[in-house]
Amino acid sequence: MFAALAAGALVLLLAPRARAQCVDEALKQQLVGRRAYRGVVPRLFKKALRHEISPLGGWYAADLADSAPVWGGAYTFNFSEDLGLEASYLRYRQSYKLLDAVVARQQGLIQIQPTPVETVQLFMGNLIWSLAYGKVRWLGGAISRFDFYLALGAGATDERDTVGLTGSGGFGMKFYLAQWLALRLDVRDYVHNRRVPALAVQKVVNDVNALGGLSVFIPFTD
């Protein structure tokens, strides 16, 4: 009789502890399942196997010519979340206002060929590598996702009826505003051989441009 009572009391003492352990284990599994580790968090915005069309505009800073507005566009096919292939077209009006001002100041005492305003076109292809991604809160409001990426490629510069090989490199960011829309910011460096007859100069230059625009993703949902 005494043994039965002791066994019952022991069961009553151990049962709450067992239930508590089960609850603790279940809560632990739930918390671990919900826990987000950096590097393994699933992306909410998917761009793999999607087409991207981007109208662009900005400012072109040339080594030998005046800075000028630049505009154009880009098409990107995203092979994966990390890699994409981009084809872009840009154009701007090239001028030499500083040189023209020097000629005017000398009142014709120096002989320099005239420098007409010309249209320069850039045809480029770049490999886009999304190096990192994260999220940002805008002015304490909504949270949006963004990518930071590197670009490397080559193409051609068409100016004065001549076409020259051009190398390109740079970086950029895309802020995703919706499932089909992103704000895009780019900085690119263009390395190519420039010849300016009016200055009797031919050299390899590094022209830099800063671009901004919007990217539309097709299909519109991921």
Q: What is the CA 103 to chain-centroid distance, rounded?
A: 42
Q: What is the pLDDT of residue 197?
A: 62
Q: Give the count of domains, the chain.
A: 2
Q: How far apart are CA 56 and CA 158, in angstroms?
A: 19
**Residue percentage of the chain with pLDDT more than 90:** 45
What phi, psi does 46 have (nearest 5°)?
A: -105, 130
Q: What is the pLDDT of residues 147-164, one digit of tens each?
A: 999 999 999 999 876 778
Of 180, 174, 172, 183, give the one whose Cα is nearest residue 213. Answer: 183
Q: Are residues 14 and 97 in the same domain?
A: no
User: Strand pairing partners for 216?
Assistant: 53, 181
Among 58-72, 80-94, 189-203, the range with the most confident prediction by mean pLDDT is 80-94
Q: Are residues 60 and 134 in the same domain?
A: yes
Q: What is the pLDDT of residue 32?
A: 56
Q: Are residues 83 and 188 in the same domain?
A: yes
Q: Are residues 136 and 91 in the same domain?
A: yes
Burial class (CB in 10 A: 0-12, 13-18, 19+), 25: exposed
Q: Are residues 80 and 133 in the same domain?
A: yes
Q: What is the pLDDT of residues 81-125, one digit of tens each?
A: 999 999 999 999 987 766 655 556 655 555 555 566 789 999 999
41, part of any domain: no
Q: Are residues 88 and 17 in the same domain?
A: no
42, part of any domain: no
Find the domain containing 20 and state its range.
1-35
Q: What is the pLDDT of residues 180-194, one digit of tens each?
A: 999 999 999 999 887
